[in-house]
Every structure is written in C-alpha cells, then in structure tokens.
Chains A and B, each alone.
Chain A
Amino acid sequence: MASQAAAFPGKRGWSPQARREAMWAYAFLGPAFFFLFVLILFPILFAFWISLHDWSLIPRDFPLIGLKNYIEAAGDSLTVKSLRNTLVYTVGAVPVSMALSLILALIMNQDKLPFRTGFRTAYFIPVITSWVAVSFVWVWMFEPRFGLVNSFLGLFGITGIKWLASPFWALPAIMIVAIWKGLGYNMVIFLAGLQGIPRELHEAAKIDGANRWQGFWHITFPLLNPTIVFITVTAVIGSLQVFTPAVIMTTVQGEAGGPINSTRVMVYHIYSTAFRYNRLGYGAALAFLLFALILVITLVQLRLTQREVEYS
C-alpha cells in the first residue's frame, strides 16, 4: 500500500501511473455511481422537497405548505395507530425470534448432533420462500374452522380464536408468520458466530469447573455479542418495514390493515396515503417519519449494545 500512496505526489500534479489508476477507477465506478446518484441520492432530496408540498398524482401547481404535512402526522390518529402497530409488531416478533433462533443454533452447534445439514435445510426453506406465497399459506393455516393452527390448538382444548378476523389476534398472527419465516436465517448467522468462538475457551472453563450455563453466560454470550448486535439491528430494521404479510393476510375487499386497522403498519399506511389516496406530499412526510424512527432505534440499539469483548 505504501508504494501506491506515494504515487500521489501531493500538490505538484500526478505521476502518470497515479493518473492512469484514477482514470480506471472512475471508469469502473462510473455506472454504479451514476445510478446510485440518480436512483437514491437525488430521490432523497426530492422526497424531502415533495414532503413540503401538497403533492398529488395529477399534474398541477403543487402549493408549498412547509412543515404542515409533518404537523398533520403528529395529530393524525391513523398515523399514530400505524406507528403503534408497527412498534408492537417489532417488539413482539424480534425478541422471540432472536431467543428461538439462538436456542436452535446452540443445539445445532453440539458436536455429536446427527443430521445437522438436514435440519439446517429444513429451517432454511421458509427463508427462501416468497413472502406472498407464505402469506397465502398462513391465511389458511389461521382459518378459524378449517385451518391447521386451530385444529392443533384444539388438541389442547383451546378453541375459538378467530386469528386474522380478530382485532386482538390479527397482529400476533402476522408476528408468528414472521418468526416462522426468519428463524432459519437468524439461526444460520448465529451458528456461524458460534463456530467462530475458540473451542479452547470452553474446554478451559470446563476444567476450571464451570457448568454449561456458566460457560454460556460468561463465554458464549459475551463473545457472540457482535453477532447478536448484527441480527438485532437488521431484524428490527426489517420489522419496522414490514409490508407484504400485513397486506396479503389482511386484505378484505381490496382494503388491507384490518380488522379495524389493527394490522395497519407504517409502510402500508405510506403506500395507501400516497398511491391510493393520492396524497404524495403527506406520504413522503410519513416516509421520513418512518426513516427517523428506524434511525433513532438503530442508534439507540448500537449505543446500548456496544461493548468490546476481547479474550485473546
């Protein structure tokens, strides 16, 4: 690297080699950067501009209304409800998914476990299945009369849960599907993290008389921290953006988010506001609200979980 850094002679102009390198670099970078600029960077600024206007799909002069869209969002009961649902969904689904996938990964990480690859395949199949297909299958799993879920619960004497037709159970039903679908993904990442923990540490602890629980709590858990942080942060970001199952599983006569808006999540709220009710300006403001929420929650998580662990 040192020789390449020296190729920049500072302010006196470039050596032919440095010039050649830079030219090739820009040539290779060009297409990606152009599209990134046009398709992501510019649209962010444009989105903010739109959010300051009363923008609609019909071309006309859009009045500049400043922050009115943002102020409206604060007092809009449907927006508050959508935010609440999105948060409940995230807080409900992510911890359960994390705990289950970590337990499964710990089991899978045992030395003498047979059929490891077979299990991994089984748990990973829902991950690769398309959300739309999955949503349809689970609509029928949750069907109160014919569905497998209620026939299963019937074995334990639990009957009569209306799941997707119930304002209380509809959101938990979607959480169950999300946990089901994401389990294999989280498990594979946990497993990779577990396999990165040096074996000698556990053996040394055993010799010192530590039991399994102590070994987990004092060695595995701290050393797995980067993996845990990675999975939590990505899972939370993904959950806050939930859309497909919340729409497909609750659509009745073209309208989703029911019953009584109990499954109306932020992304559907944004989509519906902008493209069904033709309020692009308000929709853009809502999108920034979601963005801010994601950003704040992510930063808080990183703050809370950041601790360096080194056992060398």
Chain B
Amino acid sequence: MSGFTSRAVGYSSAATVLMVLAFVLSSELFLIGGLLCMALMVLSFSFIPGRPKVERELEREQCFEDETIEVLLKLDGRKQAGNLEVFDRLSPGALLKNSSNCAMLPPGKRSIRYVIEAPLRGYHPVGPTSVRRWDPLWLWFSQGEIDNKSLLTVFPSMITEKARVMKIAKIKQRPGDMKLRRVGLGKEFHSIRDYNTTDPFNTINWKASARNRKLLVNQFEAESVTDVMFLLDSRMVTRVGTMIDNPLEQSIRFTASLAAGLLQSSNRVGLIIYGSTVSVFRPVGGTSNLTGILHDLTNVTPSGYNTMGATVEYSLPYLDPNVPVVLLSPLSEDPTVKEAIKNLIGRGHPLTVVSPAGVEYERMVYEGKITPKYLLKRMARKNLIDDIRSMGAKVIDWTPDHDLAWAIMEVWK
C-alpha cells in the first residue's frame, strides 16, 4: 500500500496549477515554480529505502499476570536515502509500559526497545511489524507488513505458598506410582545410605557394600498422598465484571495458586473445566506438571451455558472415589447447583465451594448502585449458600473486598 501526505498533494497541485498559469500568463516566476516543484517531487519519489529485515526478541516468552516484558525489535537494512516508520502491533491484552512500539528512524542497523505489561492471562500475539518506507522529504510512503509474529504466554498470577494440612485431604485409597523426588517407601531408586539395624535385608545393596567394605542400603522415592480435583465454572455468566477482575479470573488465579501449593506438597491435581464444553484433565503430580495445568488455565475462555448438574453427571466416572473436590463457581444462573452438589457429596467427595460473588462484581460495574434487582440476587445467593452449607460442603463466599491470599487462607482453616 502506498500513501501520500498533504504536502505531496500540495506540491503536485502547485506544480500543475503553476505550469498552466505560467503558460496562460507567460510568467517566468510560475514556470520556475512549477518546474521546481515537479523536479523536487520526482527526485524525492526516486529515493525510497529497501525493505529491512525485522527480528523480535522477547525477554521471556512466558510470564505471569502484571509482569513486564522487554521487547527488542532489531531492524537490519542497508543505509540508504529515505526514512523508516515502524509499528509493532500488540494484542489488546498487552499494555505499553515504557517507550513506544511505534518509531521513526533512518534506515540501517537499528533497534527499538520497549516494555509491555500483561495484566490479563492468555496467549497474546506480539507483531506482526508494519513498516512504512518513506522518501527523504517525507512526502509519500510504501507500507508493508513483515510476518514475524511472536506469542507471549501470560499465566494467571499466583500466590506460591506450600499447602498446609487440608481439612479436605484424605489419604489415597490406592497409592499411585507418582515419584516425589524424596526418600520414602516407593519403588524408584533415590540414593544409597549406611545400613541401620532396623533396615530390612532386601534393601541392602550388595555390590555397593562389597565395594565399600561396609553394609549399604538402597533408598526409594516417596509417593503421593492426596488427589484433589478442581471443578472450574467458565460459563459466559462468570465473565461479569471487568476484563481483569471478574469471577472467572479470580477463580483461575485461585486454582493456579492452590494447585501450585498442592503439587509442591506432593499431591496430585486434576481439573474439570465446564462452559461451552466439559474438559477433564486427569490428576497429575510433581511440580514439573504445574506448567501443564497453568497452560490449561491460560486457555480458558468464558463461554457457553453448560450446567453444573450435567457437568458432574458427565465427569463422575473420571473422579476417583473419595477424592476431595474444590468447586469454583459464582453459583449464579444455574438451577442444577444443589442437585450437583448433592450428587458429589452423596458419592463421598469432600467438597469445598469457593464462590466469587458475581453479584458484587456486577454491582461494581454499575458504580456500586444498590438496585432492587441486586438485593434480590444477593438474597437468593445467600439462601443458596446456606443450603449448600447445610448439605455438608464448606463454602467460601468470596466478595471483591477480599483478595486471593484471604481466599486461600480460608481453605486451610
């Protein structure tokens, strides 16, 4: 695409008009003016810099919400006449923190450095880079796009704290084969140590003992203790509030934080996300699997109207018996909540309901106005929470006044 400035239009019109007037009025002034404008434009239009090579370097390709990332844009072109205007497109979910993603500079080897902030989880594209090549007098440009898109993965922000003893936790009925990289009674080899009188004979490492002329025993890795399933509500209704602060985002941050803590304390974590579809991620353990869970959470988009009742019905076969379940939902606009909770508790799953108050987020959007509709919704929610509590579930009513740390502390109580 090419474009002209108003100066270019002015010069070209002046050249034409002055030439005509020069001929009509026999004016040498107009003749010189017309020819000069014409020659000036033709000369400037003849010089345009070549297309530069543009490479982008992100400080990190993965970060957490509210972190800043430095972006370095390297331009490599021959030193020529003319100028370059560069614009590195950013995702609407990324904010410019420092410097600029738009720059004017002479051709040659150049670099642009700017800092972006990612306040919202998700996969944010950085680029492509649009380059305008200008003539030396900035009269016209030729614009092109360089396909150098990068992807910035923004994970939900977390509070990393080692999980305490959960009241909901139960020792697994069927210990799995998860390795915990610490000494225990598992089957995987961990290390060798000196023999104690209480050690069974079958743990003695005879080859190592012969080499070292003393009795040595093998140590094995410990195994997992608890599975925890998170049931995350990602229906369209959870989107109520602002882009950054709404029940879904809070639920995701909570899940990420608690999952990190649980994994760090040698537990296994599974995830069921329902919205437009139901996605089940079987329990996994070990801190190395945290990235996978974070990716699953980053990918969540608020959509759909699946009910909790249907989701629980669908996912019951995937839940191991007596596995503690943490349900994250604003509990709004779903008539099957009670039935679903009854179903889970009836199957022996210890249940913790973390409910960001959607009605309060909705009120914040309307500048805190208290309307009859709000009062009715709040009353209905309170009654529902009371009913759930009476069924034997632990309910954390999470209002926007309380932060993430408070909600996590409530789980440990």
Say whether A and B bind each other: no
